[in-house]
Amino acid sequence: MGRREISEPFAISFADRPVPALRFLLQRDFKPSGVVEHLPDGLTVGMTPWFTEVVFELTETDTVAVLYRISKDDEYDLVVACLGESVEPFFKLLAGGDYGDELSKLVQRHWPEQYEMLRLSTAEVPGGRVMFTLHTPQRVQWMVADHLPVGDDFSSAQVTDLIGAALQTFLRFSQPSDLPGVIPVLGGPDLLSRRLKTISGLINNLNGINGAFEDGLDTDDLYGLAKDAWDFVQGIDELRRSRR
């Protein structure tokens, strides 16, 4: 129990290779990278030596979701949604010695999905949904990912489920003041604000998702975009359940 159970998610490192940073899950005016192929079912994939980029149309607008498939080991690949560096400021509090144990309890109680992803990752339990970090030269990015046996395909239901989980994680970690009980743990609104600012070097929670905007997305747009995408994915899930 406590922070030690979730504080050391696994990492995949390409830090010593000329590997480009992954792109944030949601993109507008997107240009695929690598050797691009347009598949008959409308999918666009971009192959690189290190990962395969897969582009999904989320809505009828110009917004797309970008997922990656990365080899993990001989047994598993990872299907990955990139959240940029947005998770890092709150994760530092969560894993730190000052508030980590108390915050971990709150996350376990109120954000059980994220707690479980961090727990499975820290324990290096293969097969489940995990949060982990991917290191490219000069950058550490956070990922939400599903394990996929090597050679298996992933279904559209898995895709929307993963996108939903990633969006939920993004919305929660980029707005940690929404975590019930977090303000007393961090010492009240003023202290919370100062501590997040100190740790992330950023002005407020919303600006704390700065790393997500490295692809040119606008700060004010992205939070709303993620919420819209979240509603869209939830709508698909409800539709799917209603058809069962």
Partner 1 sequence: MSDTLAFAPIPQVLSDDEVPFVLSLAPDPRRFQDLGGAKYRRGSDRYTIEWPLGPIGLRAVVLCAEGHSFLMANAGPLLTDWWPILRRGSSSPDRPLVSACLAGEKITMQTDDLAIDLTIVPSGGEVDYTTVVLVLGDGFSPDEMTLAHHVSLAAIKVALLLAAEYRTLVDTVPDMAVPAGEGTIDLADMLTLADEVANQITWSPKQR
Kindly state the number of chain residues that form the binding site for partner 1, as judged by CB under 8 A: 22
* Nearest CA-CA partner of 69 in 87, 85, 86, 45: 45
Nearer to partner 1, 113 or 214 (CB): 214
- Helix (H) / strand (E) element for 107: namely helix 100-110
Among candidate residues 3, 9, 6, the one with its CA nearest the CA of residue 140: 9
Structure tokens at 157: 């239901």
The one segment of 46-54, 63-71, 124-132, 171-179 that binds partner 1 by CB under 8 A: 46-54
Which of residues 32 and 208 has its CB atom nearest to partner 1 in the complex? 32
Residue from the set 13, 29, 36, 235 that interacts with partner 1 by CB under 8 A: 36
Residue whose CB is less far from partner 1, 37 or 75? 37
84: helix, strand or coil: coil
CA 106 to chain centre: 20
**Cα(207)–Cα(195) distance, rounded to whole angstroms?**
14
User: Contact between 128 and partner 1 (CB under 8 A)?
Assistant: no
Binding flags for partner 1, 204-223, as an x/- string (CB under 8 A):
-----------x--------
Q: Does 194 bind partner 1 (CB under 8 A)?
A: no
The residues pairing with 144 across neighbouring beta strands, listed in sequence order, are: 81, 131
17 vs 240 by CB, closer to partner 1: 17
**Range 132-141 burial, b when 16+ CB lie within 10 A, else e:** bbbebeebbb
96 binds partner 1 (CB under 8 A): no
Least Cβ distance, residue 70 to partner 1 (angstroms) = 14
Residue ranges binding partner 1 (CB under 8 A): 17-21, 23, 31-37, 47-50, 136-139, 215
